[in-house]
Chains A and B, each alone.
Chain A
Amino acid sequence: MNQSEWPLWEVFIRSKQGLDHKHVGSLHAADAAMAIQNARDVYTRRQEGISIWVVESKHVHASNPDDAEAFFDPANDKVYRHPTFYQVPDSIKHM
């Protein structure tokens, strides 16, 4: 990456009280304070948020999509983890 470029930040926004922060995109900024201000101007011009997190992109570690099949496979054959696996007699209520 070019040295003159401001670092890249990932932006997460909580749209309203009670909800998770959700990834909305990224932007460049010299530091965290500027990243939060820029995120406000770029991603919340229409009251889309009440709280902002920024994380410098280089600190995000991700799973490898090439391994996704093997990595997530173990959950595939464990249908008994879902309530629909179990038969409940019709006469039983509230279960």
Chain B
Amino acid sequence: MENPTQHLTPEEQFQARIDADVRIEPKDWMPDAYRKTLIRQISQHAHSELVGMLPEGNWITRAPSLKRKSILLSKVQDEAGHGLYLYSAAETLGTTRDQMLADLHSGKAKYSSIFNYPTLSWADMGCVGWLVDGAAILNQVPLCRTSYGPYARAMVRVCKEESFHQRQGFEIMQTLCEGAESQKAMAQEALNRWWWPTLMMFGPKDEDSPNTAQSMNWRIKRFTNDELRQKFVDMMVPQAEFLGLTVPDEKVQWNEARQAYDYGEVNWDEFWAVVKGNGLCNRDRLGARVKAHEEGAWVREAAMAHAAKRAERELVAA
């Protein structure tokens, strides 16, 4: 039987599978650039989960009740889990955990810039859940259908767990907004600080995002940065109104013709400054990661030595 794909180059065959929505699995042939793009994106995503524990970990002991402490602890534990699912997915592409961590610690690999902003008040925990996790979910839901199988499967697990994160954040905001004037003011102040950095989470504008076209073509990405940013604004403005809070952007206005909210321009100078390492907390966050890794080295070595010793004993006994 004549196979219509057999005259195609490997690249063309690969693209044909992508176009037919066939998932790519670890041992399948793939272009080097596809592999590299995925390793960069998945590891960056994993690093974001890992670093994302730091701003919240800061509040576990200070959360206002035992219930809030337990919830926050659980959320931070989920984030560690999400990081682990994602590192495993990246490892199926041929990189190693050590290599990825080394790239994070040296500053070569990036993580989401949102975690380079400080968490100053309890309302910030509300904003991180409601806004930051809300933005993350918009990014992540389409990734459940991304073309690389292990990444898509990891994202299904992540998304299942993430919706609790956003709801608990909204609940914190709602509780504050229904409380005393000073509590509502705290919520508004936190929203003022987090709104713009959250819009930056979707990445540069489409015209400044040179990789988007290729990633869409490979069906790694399903929506552009600006499409997702617009969705986010449309989702969040009514929620802020429900809470009785004001989004800190005078240009936010319903556009009847577009059936979407107009909104102001993100401060891209600030965006690039934080990406390049000059945000408020870049050095702190990376410093904390490196310290934890270095101070845990003896534990990792001891566990290996212990495992080797036990394996040897079992061999002798056998």
Contacts and interface: CB of A to CB of B under 8 A. Distances in A.
A10 B154 CA distance: 14
Given A6-B304, A34-B303, A65-B27, A25 B85 contact: yes
B97 A30 contact: no
Given A8-B91, A28-B97, A62-B27, A45 B303 contact: no
B262 interface: no
A42 B98 contact: no
A53 B304 CA distance: 21
Contacts of A28: 97
Nearest to B299: A30
A59 to B, nearest CB: 14
A2 B84 contact: no
Nearest to B150: A25
Interface in B287-318: 300-301, 303-304, 306-307, 310-311
A27 B84 contact: yes
A64 interface: yes
Nearest to B304: A30
Contacts, number: 57
Nearest to A76: B1
B81 interface: yes
Contact of B97 (A5, A62, A64, A65): A5
A31 B300 contact: no
Majority secondary structure, B binding face: helix
Contacts of B25: 65
Contacts of B84: 27, 42
Contacts of A1: 96
Contacts of A26: 88, 91
B233 to A, nearest CB: 31
Contact of B303 (A2, A6, A41, A65): A6
B32 interface: no
Given A5-B98, A31-B310, A65 B28 contact: yes
B88 A66 contact: no
Interface string A68-88: 000000000000000000000
B29 interface: yes
A2 B88 contact: no
Contacts of A27: 84, 88
A34 B13 CA distance: 42
B23 to A, nearest CB: 12
Given A1-B96, A4-B300, A65-B27, A42 B85 contact: yes
Contacts of A8: 91
Given A65-B28, A66-B29, A42 B303 contact: no
Contacts of B153: 25
Contact of A25 (B78, B88, B303, B307): B88
5 contacts: A5-B98, A27-B88, A30-B304, A31-B307, A34-B307
Report the 7 A-B pairs with minimum CB-CB distance, sorted nearest first: A30-B303, A31-B307, A30-B307, A2-B98, A26-B88, A65-B27, A65-B28
Given A26-B91, A30-B306, A31-B311, 19 more contacts: A1-B96, A4-B98, A4-B304, A5-B97, A6-B300, A8-B91, A25-B88, A25-B157, A28-B97, A31-B306, A31-B310, A34-B303, A41-B81, A42-B84, A45-B74, A46-B161, A64-B27, A65-B27, A65-B28
